[in-house]
Amino acid sequence: MSAPEVVVHADADALATAAAARLVAALSSVQRAKGSVSVVLTGGGTGISVLRAVRAAASTLDWSRVDVYWGDERFLPAGHADRNETQAREALLDHVAVDPARVHPMAPSDGDLGDDPDAAAAAYAELLGDSPVFDVLLLGVGEEGHTLSVFPDSPAVHSTEPVVAVRDCPKPPPTRISLTLPTARLATQVWLMATGAGKAGPVGAAVSGVSEVDIPAAGARGVEATVWFLDEAAAAKTARS
């Protein structure tokens, strides 16, 4: 696994602009080398701000050759405003020439699989296959150190399954679908993004290498690169590069 790179920006807006430009460049580079590229999207305020900034910087990317996945999802009806998919479509995907067949959302609670998060998790695992490899996986970080929908000392943080149903989340909504940390660690690059003073403690702990059971974000590392995009407040307890 790669050692973390810490990149600090003045504020959340500067972070979103810089991360978006770097993401478009990274995806374009992989496209030139391989023909297509895969990206795993995240939700949250910072993650969606980055997607809006990508929309403004996306002219160099051939969106028809991008495979889009999600790291986690709130198990809610299709189109619900709190679903990561809904927010990503409004921020970016509805405005670029992405191939609908290459966009892979997690099942909603009112979909063909019914209100069954275990079935939804199993279906996403089947879609990904035995050893999914993502080119870039985007992640947010919570104030208690969660990433994806993997919370401290929860069943999900101990799971070796590729995708899990998460129940009784300490943050609403309580039921979610999530990739696990072992799946995240298959990604070529993992980018974690955090803003605000409330994230400083868990971010500092994660970068220093604490147990992923205590701070799940510490267990999210890419095969070739792990990059932390932080604003000044979130970086307050972190050694900087």
Residue spans of the domains in the chain: they are 4-231
Number of neighbours of residue 59 by Cβ within 10 angstroms: 7
- 3-state helix, strand, coil split of the chain in percent (to 5) is 40, 20, 40
Per residue, the 3-state secondary structure of 196-240, as one string, reads: CHHHHHHHHHHHHCCCCCCCHHHHCCCCCEEEEEEECCCCCCCCC
Residue 241 is predicted with a pLDDT of 45
What local confidence, expressed as pLDDT, does residue 240 receive?
58
The pTM (predicted TM-score) of the whole model is: 0.96
What would the pLDDT profile of 82-98 be if each residue is shown by its tens digit? 999 999 999 999 999 99
The CATH number given to 4-231 is 3.40.50.1360
> 107 φ, ψ to 5°?
-65, 140
Q: Using one digit for the tens of pLDDT, what is the confidence trace for 150-176?
A: 999 999 999 999 999 999 999 899 999
